[in-house]
Structure 1
Amino acid sequence: MPGRQAFPLLIPQLSLLFLLQLCLLLSPAVSAPIGICYGRVANNLPPTNDVVKLLQSNGVTNVRLFNTDSAVLRSFTGTGIKLMIGVPNEILPFLATSPQSAAMDWLRSNIFNHISADQVRYIAVGNEVFLKDSFYAPHLIPTILNLHQALQTLGFADSIKLSSPQAASVLSKSYPPSSASFDPSLRFAIVPLLQFLTDTGSPFMVNLYPYFSYINSKPEEVSLDYALFRPEPGRTVRDGAYEYSNVYDASIDALVYAMEKEGFGGVTVAVTETGWPTSGGEAANVDNAAVYNGNVVARAMRNAGTPRRPGVGVEVYLFDLFDENGKVGEEFEKHFGIFGLDGVKAYGLDFN
Structure 2
Amino acid sequence: MATRLSLYLLCHVLLTAIAAAGDGKIGICHGRVGGNLPPPEAAAALLLQNGVTRARLFLPDPPVLRAFAAAGIDLVVGVPNENLTFLAASGPDGAARWLSSAVLAHAPAERVRYLAVGNEVLYGDRFYAASIVPAKRNLHAALAGMGLDGVVRVSSAHASSVLAASYPPSAGAFDAEALPVLRPMLRFLADTGAPFMVNTYPFISYVNDPANVELAYGLFGAAAAPVQDGALVYTNLFDATVDALVAALEKEGFGGVQVAVTETGWPTAGHPAAMPENAAAYNAEIVGRAARGVGTPRRPGVPVEVFLFDMYDEDGKPGAEFERHFGIFRADGSKAYDINLA
Q: Which TM-score tier does this pair reach, normalised by the shorter chain?
A: over 0.9
SS of the counterpart of 1:50?
helix
**Who is 1:288 aligned against?**
278
**Equivalent residues, number:** 323
**Who is 1:227 aligned against?**
218
**CA displacement at 1:282 relative to structure 2:** 2.7
Under a length normalisation based on structure 2, what TM-score does the superposition of the two structures give?
0.92
Under a length normalisation based on structure 1, what TM-score does the superposition of the two structures give?
0.90
**CA displacement at 1:133 relative to structure 2:** 4.7
* Counterparts of 2:115 and 2:201, CA distance in 1: 22
* Matches for 1:112-261 after TM superposition, within 5 Å: 112-219=104-211, 221-232=212-223, 235-261=225-251
Q: Percent identity?
A: 54
Contact 1:277 1:284 in 2 (8 A): yes
**CA displacement at 1:188 relative to structure 2:** 0.6
* Counterparts of 1:183 and 1:76, CA distance in 2: 36
Structure 1 stretches of 5 or more lacking a match?
Answer: 1-23
* Counterparts of 1:256 and 1:295, CA distance in 2: 21
2:60 corresponds, among 68, 72, 86, to 68
* Counterparts of 2:302 and 2:204, CA distance in 1: 25
**CA displacement at 1:52 relative to structure 2:** 1.3
Q: 1:350 to 1:31 in 2, by over 3 A?
A: farther
Structure 2 stretches of 5 or more lacking a match?
Answer: 1-17
SS of the counterpart of 2:78?
strand
SS of the counterpart of 1:230?
coil
Over residues 8-58 of structure 1, what are the superposed CA-to-partner deviations in whole Å (9 max), with x where a residue is unaligned?
xxxxxxxxxxxxxxxx9xxxx953121000000001101111111111111
SS of the counterpart of 1:293?
helix
Contact 1:242 1:308 in 2 (8 A): yes
* Counterparts of 1:133 and 1:90, CA distance in 2: 14
* Counterparts of 2:68 and 2:207, CA distance in 1: 37
* Counterparts of 2:121 and 2:109, CA distance in 1: 25
For residue 231 of structure 1, what is the amino acid of its counterpart? A
* Matches for 1:266-305 after TM superposition, within 5 Å: 266-305=256-295
SS of the counterpart of 1:130?
coil
Contact 2:162 2:178 in 1 (8 A): yes
**CA displacement at 1:143 relative to structure 2:** 0.1
Is residue 347 of structure 1 aligned with residue 341 of structure 2?
no
* Counterparts of 1:84 and 1:303, CA distance in 2: 20
SS of the counterpart of 2:70?
coil
* Counterparts of 1:313 and 1:167, CA distance in 2: 20
Higher mean alpha-carbon deviation, 128-137 vs 288-297, is at: 128-137
1:49 corresponds, among 41, 52, 61, to 41
For residue 137 of structure 2, what is the amino acid of its counterpart? L
For residue 345 of structure 1, what is the amino acid of its counterpart? K
**CA displacement at 1:307 relative to structure 2:** 0.6
Over residues 32-85 of structure 1, what are the superposed CA-to-partner deviations in whole Å (9 max), with x where a residue is unaligned?
121000000001101111111111111110000001111111112332110000
Contact 2:22 2:302 in 1 (8 A): no
1:334 corresponds, among 316, 324, 329, to 324
* Counterparts of 1:77 and 1:284, CA distance in 2: 33
Contact 1:275 1:319 in 2 (8 A): yes
For residue 260 of structure 1, what is the amino acid of its counterpart? E
* Counterparts of 1:171 and 1:34, CA distance in 2: 24
For residue 170 of structure 1, what is the amino acid of its counterpart? V
**Who is 1:91 aligned against?**
83
Q: 1:133 to 1:85 in 2, by over 3 A?
A: farther
SS of the counterpart of 2:127?
helix
SS of the counterpart of 1:129?
coil
SS of the counterpart of 1:164?
strand
Contact 1:35 1:316 in 2 (8 A): yes
Is residue 35 of structure 1 aligned with residue 27 of structure 2?
yes
SS of the counterpart of 2:213?
coil
* Counterparts of 2:46 and 2:27, CA distance in 1: 14
**CA displacement at 1:98 relative to structure 2:** 1.2
Contact 1:231 1:246 in 2 (8 A): no
For residue 180 of structure 2, what is the amino acid of its counterpart? F
* Counterparts of 1:76 and 1:245, CA distance in 2: 36
Higher mean alpha-carbon deviation, 76-85 vs 147-156, is at: 76-85
Higher mean alpha-carbon deviation, 161-170 vs 127-136, is at: 127-136
